[in-house]
Chain A
């Protein structure tokens, strides 16, 4: 049995699944913290109710993100022991710092936040949620510092048969981190804002529960959505330009650009043949890819065939082309979903300013469906990032084929793959059930819960 292939599937499934929950944690913690800040500053009860309503949904989601994250930390050693040995000197450091700096912070203060409503002063209680926001987002920063080393290795030297760190500062200032982290941070905000918008829209449509709560939520949600979608797109653009410089093959595959072009055309829709590396059918806009790559009308963008030849010279014989179909469509999935979200946010703001949101029931329905868009964009974004880097696990330094654990047999990986997939499937069911249940306005927090002993968490 092909242990390598199974290990890759397992990593892919568990990572994409993990990242269903992470962006919502990142963004919703921030929105809940903003709501509680408004409560503490104004003393208005509506903000306390909002904090508790969205806080409960945040907790249900948070738990899933945490537990699936443990798998991530363990499986580098379990399935990718050769990788761990080869880059542990560099890659282990940010992971350890992530645990020490972020996991402790978010988990400890979240515990205090959940149970501390009556034990702490309002101000101190507010501080605890902001520390959760800080912890979660620092965790994203450190794991992206680690991931950026795989995309753009810096601050290392090859010594003693492995990659060794020579400059910790270079890891932190890796240019890839500072395009990737803001992109992920903003995508978290987008995920949370569409989550808030969709659920609020549902309740406004059904006229269930405390409508005032959902009107306030929509206002916060739409501002966050607008800021988030526009910034995520702008940073994404910079990130694409960075990719052209550092991983041109990924960009070539994302565009199905078989041969170098100058100026290069942007593909709107391509059906290609990966074997012959040619287009079967394509709609293209001339020069646009050069404009996107360099902000000017000229400039060569390298194609797959040219890069393949270049890499063979540089790294020896081999296939250096990632799966083009998946990379190409992942890119389009991400950008497409992002574009739709920008438009929805703009139109939503327009309706709110003209006080017509609640009359436009078709738009409210659309917002419910739009909850799925950030998830589509987040997942396809990571597929582009990780699959587009193949065959490398660390770009230009180590190939994925050489990274797998030599002593973990295919049968064992198959078994764990089946176990994780089944378990994750069941948990997804339970999670969606609870989110749907607590998303209904008549399940609103703060409606007499205080009087019931032990009501609420645990």
Chain B
């Protein structure tokens, strides 16, 4: 395998890490105003992701940095092309990060309610927009022979991309509800179970619609052929099993299976994309690939050593983080800061 493909895999891994981890904390943020009936509830809900959300978000920043380092043209085309959409994502992420830190620092109910809604918006928008962005990437967008995006903002909001956005949104919200059922106790846990059970069917419907639409709007599923391999089939099976595990109230298994759905679905999408990284709908020859968008072999080599030595360490201490805070969060939990 060449270094270009290795880096494509690595960026796939970073996006998988991002959706696998940040997926549920977006979901928790989206559910916050609805599952938290009072201030104490809301603090429990936020505390369930308190020690994790910032570390989770870094998977995105690292994916962005890795794109820049390994595939500068991919980074340049996508970030300049999706300009206004990314402005929205940034506004959302700014409000979200600040809201987590600020909301409990003042007693005023108005202050708290304002920041709670910012957490909602800051989680809702990126969940939706990353779905829209990923769908656009597999659908193809107008790109000229100079690798520049020639469409506008509204191009990105085509029906299939919006379906993709809603699918991501539903999946992450379901994921967040299941996470809360796993991490909280008492009434909040009960509410989380109920919401998860309600969300499961719409999520399955959206995923089916997204895959069906994918056969029409993209080539990534058709490229997989009659025997699509273990990843997409596994993703489907995992998602179906979530319904069963919710029914028998096994939130641990429901969580693992939703995580598996997200991991395998992301893998499938990137597999279908390879070796392209941005598909040009103007002319397939103008698509960006792991070869024409990449850095020099020297840079890829240096960065491979860096990544191979650092990623396992990061995974190790993040796993330790989850281990330290593995217990359920309730009204008794606290912090001294």
Q: Which residues of A contact B (CB under 8 A)?
A: 52, 55-56, 59-60, 62-64, 66-68, 70-71, 73-74, 76-79, 81-82, 84-85, 87-93, 95-101, 103-105, 107-112, 114-120, 159-160, 164-166, 168, 405-408, 412, 415-416, 419-420, 423, 427, 430, 434, 437-438, 445-446, 449-450, 452-458
Contact = CB atoms under 8 A, between A and B. Distances in A.
A146 to B, nearest CB: 10
B98 A427 contact: yes
Given A64-B98, A88-B73, A99-B58, A52 B336 contact: yes
A407 B81 contact: yes
B68 A458 contact: no
13 contacts: A63-B98, A63-B101, A66-B97, A74-B90, A89-B299, A92-B295, A93-B69, A111-B54, A112-B325, A114-B335, A165-B299, A168-B298, A458-B43
Given A81-B80, A93-B302, 11 more contacts: A70-B90, A98-B65, A100-B311, A104-B314, A107-B57, A111-B321, A165-B302, A168-B302, A449-B336, A455-B335, A456-B337
B94 A67 contact: yes
A103 B73 contact: no
A407 B80 contact: yes
Contact of B91 (A108, A112, A423, A457): A423
Contacts of B150: 407
A164 B296 contact: yes
Interface string B225-262: 00000000000000000000000000000000000000
A79 B61 CA distance: 17
Given A52-B336, A77-B78, A88-B75, A164 B299 contact: yes
A376 to B, nearest CB: 24
Contacts of B318: 104, 108
Contacts of A100: 62, 65-66, 306-307, 310-311, 314
A78 to B, nearest CB: 5
Contacts of A71: 90, 94
Contact of A456 (B96, B106, B317, B334): B334
Interface stretch (B44-52, B197-205, B274-282): B44-52
A55 B337 contact: yes
A108 B317 contact: yes
B78 to A, nearest CB: 7
A84 B72 contact: yes
B298 A405 contact: no
Contacts of B44: 454
A73 B64 contact: yes
Chain A contact surface mostly: helix
Contacts of B331: 453-454
Given A96-B66, A119-B324, A165-B296, A63 B97 contact: yes
Contacts of A95: 65, 68-69
Contacts of A449: 336
Contacts of B106: 434, 437
Contact of B100 (A63, A89, A104, A445): A63
Contact of A110 (B54, B295, B298): B54
Contacts of A427: 94, 98
Contacts of A120: 324
A450 B97 contact: no
A115 B325 contact: yes
B17 to A, nearest CB: 11
Contact of A457 (B50, B146, B311): B50
A205 B50 CA distance: 36
B55 A108 contact: yes
Interface in B97-115: 97-98, 100-106
A405 B83 CA distance: 10
Interface residues of B, number: 79
B84 A119 contact: no
B239 to A, nearest CB: 29
Interface in B283-323: 295-296, 298-299, 302-303, 306-307, 310-311, 314, 317-318, 321
Contact of B324 (A87, A89, A116): A116
B90 A103 contact: no
B75 A77 contact: yes
Contacts of B93: 67, 70
Q: Which of A78, A166, A420 has the most CB of B within 10 A?
A: A78
Contacts of B317: 104-105, 108-109
B51 A112 contact: yes
Contacts of B68: 76-77, 84, 88, 91-92, 95-96
A449 to B, nearest CB: 6
A125 to B, nearest CB: 11
A353 B259 CA distance: 61
B149 A165 contact: no
Nearest to A63: B101
Given A89-B295, A92-B69, A92-B295, A419 B104 contact: no
B86 interface: yes
Contacts of A78: 79-80, 83, 86-87
A93 B299 contact: yes
B1 interface: no
A406 B153 CA distance: 15
Contacts of A118: 334
Contacts of B50: 111, 114-115, 457-458
A73 B65 contact: yes
A165 B76 contact: no
A84 B86 CA distance: 17
Contact of B55 (A90, A104, A159): A104
A419 B69 CA distance: 28
Given A93-B302, A164-B296, A60 B84 contact: no
B79 A81 contact: yes
Q: Which of B40, B52, B296, B298 has the most CB of A within 10 A?
A: B296
Nearest to B50: A458
Contact of A73 (B61, B70, B306): B61
Contacts of A93: 69, 299, 302-303, 306
A182 B50 CA distance: 33
Contacts of A88: 68-69, 72-73, 75-76, 295
B332 interface: yes
A52 B146 CA distance: 54
Q: Which of B103, B148, B337 has the most CB of A within 10 A?
A: B337
B334 A450 contact: yes
Contacts of A81: 76-77, 79-80, 148
A412 B306 contact: no
Given A73-B61, A92-B70, A457 B101 contact: yes
Contact of A454 (B43, B80, B84): B43
B337 A457 contact: yes
A325 B275 CA distance: 51
Contacts of A454: 40, 43-44, 47, 331, 333-334
